Structure 1
Amino acid sequence: MSGPDPEAATATAEDTGSGGMLRLHYSAISDVGRVRKDNQDSGYAGPWLLTVCDGVGGAARGDIASGTAVQQLRRLDEQPPSGLTPDDLLGRVAGALHRAHDRIGELVDEDPALNGTSTTATVLVFDGTRAGIGHIGDSRAYLYRAGEISQLTHDHTFVQSLIDEGRITEPESRVHPHRNLILKALDGIHEAEPDLFLADLQPGDRLLLCSDGASGVLDDARLADVLSTGTPDYAAVELVRASLEAGSSDNVTCIVADVLDEAAAAGRAAALDELQPLLVGAAAELRRRPVKGARPAGIFRGHRSGDTGELEPVQAEIPDLPPDVHAIPSDPIDPETARYAPREPFRFFWLRRLMVALIAVGLVWMVAAGAWTWSQSQYYVGEQDGQVVIFRGVNTSLPGIDLSQPFATTNVELDRLPAFVAEGVRDGIAADDFADAEAIVDNLASEMSPAESLDRGSVDTGTRASAAQRVITWP
């Protein structure tokens, strides 16, 4: 293999146990890409852990979801205890994924603006001889062995389900209008159901974990071609470069790791003298926040030093700060706390409370009015009385307030759709605008079983305005 690329950071997982253990020599790269404004991918590579998370949510801050997931998952980067059984190894992976899932849910509860955020997660935990893998979403893990590449994970996407049913081919899935629709993710709301499995590793294996910014534009042959040469540094940089040159419109994150025995590791001793975990993408930017909750402009941009793809990941120096054992918690019902709490003069006490209450009510009203106005420019495809319906508004509700209304009826019947597609419709499929919602309906119509001949799903004939008058209902 060629010498190390000085522009990329590397590290190894050294054997601290018996001589039969293997080591990982890895590199991690994340690029914001040439289209996106923010990097919503996150990645982590350490001696015992490789993981890629691709945030989903757009305005709902997918970067926070992926960064939060990686912050939870990175706790797996420690040497597993001796005698760990396969079930124990997979249990550690599953536990970490569920903790990440729960933490995202907590953030959504704390900040409703994050509602709708989620992230994929592909996790590989190394124990010295094998890998415990957890996977949810459409990020991927590959194994390159003896000149052959194989995909270890299975996408949880709409198009993958069509491939599994033999309805479309892999090349067709790359241009399918709904190729980006994922069916599973960590969102803190729906039950997390990751795939969990083991992979035995051999010296000479090369592992690749990547977001769909790479796998969506590079086929297996191209991936294998890049993985066949060079160090992990070289391969990771070239994969990102190749993805951008192939027209990727997404963030691109790649982690490449070589599996080494002691002899191979000794041959790379010069390149393996620094044992630093690597943190890239949104997770690295979240780490750099000087104050919790602060969001300086541009802070979530990915790491790139130009459109040529010459990238430099950052070191994952994320200290776990212990709580101050000398601090006294503030408890409002603690007599000592109340005793020393400063108090306002009594004559101003109720006036201040009244003003605060009025301001709070005014702010709530303004936010509610703004949210309602914004919601009426949103559309999604859902179900009503067994039929597919285009709704105007957002696919959620507040106590006593319905934030969406049927906007256009269709003749697409839910019970004539495949079960997994029907379930997606029941959950609601977001659309960019009304035209996109119509396109989704057209696609659903093509999925109906041919029990009887019906026209494609669409709004009633006539102008859009007249159709709207027939189907819009007002409170």
Structure 2
Amino acid sequence: MTSRNTLFLYSTTVSDTGYVRSNNQDSSFAGERLIAICDGMGGHAGGDTASTIAVRSLAHIEKDPGSPQSVGDVASLMETSVIAAHDAIVGKAKHEHKLAGMGTTVTAVTLVEDHWVLAHIGDSRAYLLRNGRIIRATKDHSYVQHLIDTGRITPAEAKNHPQRNVVMRVLGDFDIDPRPDISVRKAQAGDRWMLCSDGVCGVLSDETIRETLETVTNPQDCAQRLVGMALKAGSTDNCTAVIADANIPLDPGEPGQRHQIPLVAGAVSADLAPLAGILGTTVAQAPKLRDEYAKSPAQKAAELAAAQSGADAADSRANAASNAANGYGSDAEASGNTAGGGGYAASDSADMGESDDSDSLDGHAHVVDKSVNGADVDGGSDAPTDGADGQSGDEPEETPNIAVPQSKDPAAADEIMPDTSEIPIVKKRDGTVVSDPRDPVVAVALAHKKAQDHERHRKRLHMKRGVVIATIIVIVGIIAGVVYGAWHWSQSQYYIGESDGYVAVYQGVNTNVFGMEMSHIVRSTKISVSNLSENTQQQLQRGVTMSSQQEAEQHLAILITESNENRTQKEREAAASASPSASASPSSTASASAANSANVSASPSASASASPSASASGQGAAQ
């Protein structure tokens, strides 16, 4: 069985751009159930967007759930909301490329069932002051903290380390686990929380923070003092602080009754309407940093010099007027001093004295609930009072920036729902506006939105695919047209070349494209290439280009004539080379005759010598 809180948070916040940065990328939230600090990063356009998305994603936790919630449920809800913020930041970066690389830290504390539930990721910090003792409730997810944990450097060395601003875990457009550290502790009346960005805790020691939290009881004064001290200590970053006190309300009122108006500061305060729509209640911009802290030393010196110059001029004019009075000046001066002295005394009293109840619980609630930077949100009383920033009632008050939900503003009934990036805002049938990712109505809307996004993505892919296919078809068509045009032109060309040792007429050009011949034979001849001159043979190897087939036929006739002449010439040369052999045959005959004569003259002896043998042989045979 769960029970409602017996404690309520009275919180406030202050955020300042600082002396160095050009824009404020921090965002903070101060409510009665939720406090949060988000330190954005990612360039001029990204850091403020990321921290704003994170605060809007967490803001629904501030709403009264209507029924008691367990600590476990709220812890799970905070983790889910932080992850939803991460998804929203990533989705925003994908849709807007100029925001690529943006991210933010998140440190948030929720009060439920008189327990503190803390969600933390990044290097922002949460301090808890309890019974005069300060507790650092978070651990920095930074590179220097990793070096400290591994014993490579000391905490003192980390203060001036060149990579002290490098974070290792953060929400955003990075490949990093977005799940936050979740811790739970019992709440006590009198607990004071301080959440701050590294622009504050990076230059102030824990002891300085503890002393300030303990001695400056007014939450707004405490936040102003801490941010101002950080700037004076030389902080070069945005400086933001959230101060929250846990107290028992003097008048609990009805269940769900608000004890203060939620305050926001930093980048998220640029547009309060989305938060007012999410919470269903009025949201106000937190007081700005007072001039005594906001102005740099150079600005203060210039103003002091100008004021001194003006005072000297006023004294000169007063002396001149007194001398011109001729005797009446002493009485006037005495009267003036009396009135002036009373005025100065009253002014000093107003400057030096503080309201008796400024640090009491009732005065505390009035400062946070009713006054925003010295202005009464609900109209206030007719009596002049000092503003929350300590300025006298005679000075002009700054008009607070306040937003009311559309359901409470009839003039805004027809306006478009505020944009909270990737987390849809749903208006229920009862008129309430919710953005809790765990609300069934929001879950249905989120699923519908995802389905629409998927369908749009599918259509974009289909369109891109169609464009690619059409482009390919066009390119192929152009190539085909070029090839066909080249082929068609080639078919109007002719040349004479060689084919298997004979002259042939070709239609086309003597080349090939991607292995495809751009010509073919239209007439073969019996003109042997060997019967042509060597010069003509070389021309035929290269191809003799003709403008038409008729011209090719005419040139072919020339080649036929040349071939016939060359063949006739070769035959004559062959005949001429054969005639000298025939005229040389008589001498051969004479030689043969002489040889025969010699043979005849030698034959008698041969016959004589051979005859007896032959006779003898004949006789022997006869016998």
For 1:234-383, list aligned pairs within 5 A.
Answer: 234-262=221-249, 265=250, 275-287=260-272, 303-304=288-289, 306=291, 308-309=293-294, 312=373, 317=403, 319=405, 321=417
Give the secondary structure class of the aligned counterpart of 1:193: coil
Q: 1:67 aligns with which of 34, 48, 52?
A: 52
Taking the aligned partners of 1:83 and 1:312, their CA distance within structure 2 comes to 34
Residue 226 (structure 1) aligned with residue 212 (structure 2): yes
Q: CA RMSD in A?
A: 3.1
Q: Secondary structure at the match of 2:403?
A: coil
Question: Secondary structure in 1 aligned to 2:171?
Answer: coil
Is contact 1:22-1:203 (8 Å) kept? Answer: yes
Instruction: Determine if contact 1:53/1:119 at 8 Å carries over to the other structure.
Output: yes
Structure 1 equivalent of residue 133 of structure 2: 148
Seq. identity, %: 36
How much has 1:50 moved relative to structure 2? Answer: 0.2
Q: Which residue of 2 aligns with 1:331?
A: none
Code of the residue aligned with 2:154 in structure 1: it is T
Work out which of the two has the higher radius of gyration on C-alpha atoms and give 1 or 2: 2
1:20–1:307 distance in 2 versus 1, CA, 3 Å: closer
- CA, structure 1 residues 87+251, in 2 after alignment: closer, same or farther (shift >3 Å)? same
- Does residue 211 (structure 1) correspond to residue 297 (structure 2)? The answer is no
| Letter of the structure 2 residue corresponding to residue 215 of structure 1 | C
Q: Read off the aligned partner of 2:41 and give its amino acid letter.
A: V
Q: Partner letter of residue 54 of structure 2? A: A
Kindly report which structure 2 residues correspond to 1:121-160, keeping only aligned pairs within 5 A, or say none: 121-160=106-145
For each residue in 1:252-298, what CA deviation from the matched residue of structure 2 results, as whole angstroms up to 9, or x when unmatched?
A: 11010111124xx469xxxx996200011000014479xxxxxxxxx
1:96 to 81, 96, 112: 81
Q: Which amino acid aligns with 1:61?
A: G
Q: RCO (CA 8 Å, sep 6+): is it higher in 1 or 2?
A: 1
Task: Return the alpha-carbon distance in structure 1 between the equivalents of residues 427 and 83 of structure 2.
Answer: 28
For residue 228 of structure 1, give the secondary structure of its aligned residue in structure 2. Answer: helix
Question: What one-letter code is carried by the residue in structure 2 that aligns with 1:212?
Answer: D
Unaligned 5+ residue runs, structure 1?
1-16, 290-301, 327-475
Secondary structure of the corresponding residue to residue 153 of structure 1: coil
AA matched with 2:223: A
Taking the aligned partners of 1:324 and 1:27, their CA distance within structure 2 comes to 29
C-alpha distance in 2 between matches for 1:323 and 1:20: 28
Relative to 1, partners in 2 of residues 1:86 and 1:61: Cα closer, same or farther, differing over 3 Å? same
Structure-2 separation of matches of 1:129 and 1:231: 22
In the other structure, the counterpart of 1:385 is none
| CA gap 1:172/1:318 in 2 versus in 1, 3 angstroms | farther
**TM-score when scaled to structure 1?**
0.57
Given that 2:14 and 2:289 are in contact with CA atoms closer than 8 Å, whether structure 1 keeps it comes out as no
Deviates more, 1:237-246 or 1:191-200: 191-200
Give the 3-state SS of the residue equivalent to 1:38 in structure 2.
coil
Describe how 1:381-460 pairs up with structure 2 within 5 A.
none
* CA spacing shift, 1:196–1:81, aligned 2, 3 Å: farther
Q: Secondary structure at the match of 2:11?
A: strand
Gaps (5+ residues) in structure 2? 275-286, 296-371, 375-399, 407-416, 418-424, 430-623
Corresponding residue pairs, total = 294
- Partner letter of residue 235 of structure 1? C
CA deviations over 1:198-236 (Å, ceiling 9, x no partner): 121111111111111110001110001110122111111
Helix, strand or coil at the partner of 1:159: helix
Alpha-carbon distance in 1 for matches of 2:273, 2:30 = 18
Cα distance in structure 2, aligned partners of 1:42 and 1:56:
11
TM superposition shift of 1:78: 1.9
- Structure 1 residues 312, 41: closer, same or farther in 2, change over 3 A? farther
Deviations 1:416-475, CA, capped at 9 Å, x for gaps: xxxxxxxxxxxxxxxxxxxxxxxxxxxxxxxxxxxxxxxxxxxxxxxxxxxxxxxxxxxx
Cα distance in 1 between the residues matched to 2:204 and 2:14: 16
